[in-house]
Amino acid sequence: MTVLQRTRAGRKSHECTDCRKAFPSKVKLISKATHQQIHTRERLLGCSQCQKAFVTKSALSCHQKTHHREGKSYGCNKCGKAFPWKSKLELHQRTHSGERPFRCRVCDKAFMVQTHLTVHQRTHTGERPYECLDCEKAFSKKAQLVIHQRIHTGERPYRCSQCQKAFITKSALVYHQKTRHSEGKSYGCSKCEKAFPWKSKLELHQRTHSGERPFRCRVCDKAFMVRTHLTVHQRTHTGEKPYECLDCEKAFSKKAQLMVHQRIHAGERPYECSQCQQAFIQRSDLTNHKKTQHAIGKSHGCGECGKVLSCKSTLIIHQRTHTGEKPFKCNVCDKAFTAKSYLTVHQRIHTGERPYECSDCKKAFATLSTLIGHRRTHTGERPYGCNECQKAFFRKSAVLNHQQTQHRGKVSMQ
């Protein structure tokens, strides 16, 4: 069960063959509180109250004190809460006194517990002492590594009692139960009667009624309802892009953008249209597809020509084709546009900016739609098919041109 190896310092180390954890001596690995019982699931010490079993006596003692109140003798004189250890009571009392004795020397942030300060300091030093043996990804907290390793093992220890769906973390299970099964939904909005599983979610929602935006950017004075939205916005000023793709080294300011981008490399298209089975990388693309191709949710009609649009903002832009209004003007060549996004793309002609790069051939493009069309030359995907002759094309414009020239203007697509 063990492998003998030498550490960098030349000392002998005994390694567990199941998880590759190393111990300074064989005794430590296979002694009384054996590490290997974790893998064999051998539980020697049982709780007399609930029959739950544990590997070590200390784990059993901790369980009995925290779950069955055995030995709980340290009570808080402020709120009456009881604790199994005096040290736990002293930590708890700091929540009443506000005492934070452990202070960071870099940013002056203070903490109630020494270990919280230690973990915080890693944000300054960049230290990530906990490394995954499977993929070498490193973490600043041991708990983060434990959760991450479940991705490799497939372990999902937290199961929903209602639908049997399993989760990697307890917080994910709690969130699932509150949002899917309405467990604990008790915070209702007095304005619109919408209910939320957490008070913090209700407070954020109420800002949509009050218009409160307490988080303001010091550079451009733009205000936000949520602090995280301000943090992401500030990256437009600093240029910070902390989320980098390991395949092509492209970086992003938001984690969600990286996750969507990675689907390009993986070929993953998780959002499929129920009407035509066309699949998409992100949900917004599918929603837009349904609205534009299958008329789902179209409710905004133009009073001039009767054309129906998927959303009000699109209708406003469309109406400018009738009024001739072009409110967005280029400050270089004076050319004007009906939509701000059209102006943004146009300005790249002057700046030479090509922000969308192909990960296969490194060719760059001014618009995302051009990149998507180009990538199909690598993947061979031809999503636009002609109903008349079954010929398929990379772009929608190509199939329309084909139908007009080869089938006398018949415009029907698969």
Domain boundaries, the chain: 215-266, 271-406
CB atoms within 10 A of CB 265: 13
Third-level CATH fold of 215-266: Double Stranded RNA Binding Domain (3.30.160)
Third-level CATH fold of 271-406: Double Stranded RNA Binding Domain (3.30.160)
Residue 331: predicted pLDDT: 92
Q: Which three-class secondary structure string do you get for the chain?
A: CEEEEECCCCCEEEEECCCCCEECCHHHHHCCCCCCHHHHCCCCEECCCCCCEECCHHHHHHHHHHHCCCCCCEECCCCCCEECCHHHHHHHHHHHHCCCCEECCCCCCEECCHHHHHHHHHHHHCCCCEECCCCCCEECCHHHHHHHHHHHHCCCCEECCCCCCEECCHHHHHHHHHHHCCCCCCEECCCCCCEECCHHHHHHHHHHHHCCCCEECCCCCCEECCHHHHHHHHHHHHCCCCEECCCCCCEECCHHHHHHHHHHHHCCCCEECCCCCCEECCHHHHHHHHHHHCCCCCCEECCCCCCEECCHHHHHHHHHHHHCCCCEECCCCCCEECCHHHHHHHHHHHHCCCCEECCCCCCEECCHHHHHHHHHHHHCCCCEEECCCCCEECCHHHHHHHHHHHCCCCCCEC
pLDDT per residue, tens digit, the chain (414 aa), is 444 443 333 444 566 666 666 655 554 444 434 555 555 545 467 788 776 777 777 777 777 776 666 655 688 888 888 887 888 888 889 999 999 999 999 888 999 999 999 999 988 888 989 988 888 888 888 888 988 888 888 888 888 888 888 888 888 888 888 777 766 557 888 888 787 877 888 899 999 999 999 999 998 989 999 999 999 999 888 888 888 887 777 888 888 888 888 887 777 788 888 888 788 888 888 887 887 777 666 567 888 888 877 778 888 889 999 999 999 999 999 899 999 889 989 999 999 888 888 877 888 888 888 888 888 888 778 878 888 887 888 788 888 888 888 887 555 555
Residue 264: predicted pLDDT: 79
pTM for the structure as a whole: 0.41
Phi-psi region for residue 267, left (φ > 0), alpha (ψ -120 to 50) or beta? Answer: left
Domain 215-266 and domain 271-406 have a common topology: yes
Residue 30: predicted pLDDT: 46
Residue 6: predicted pLDDT: 39
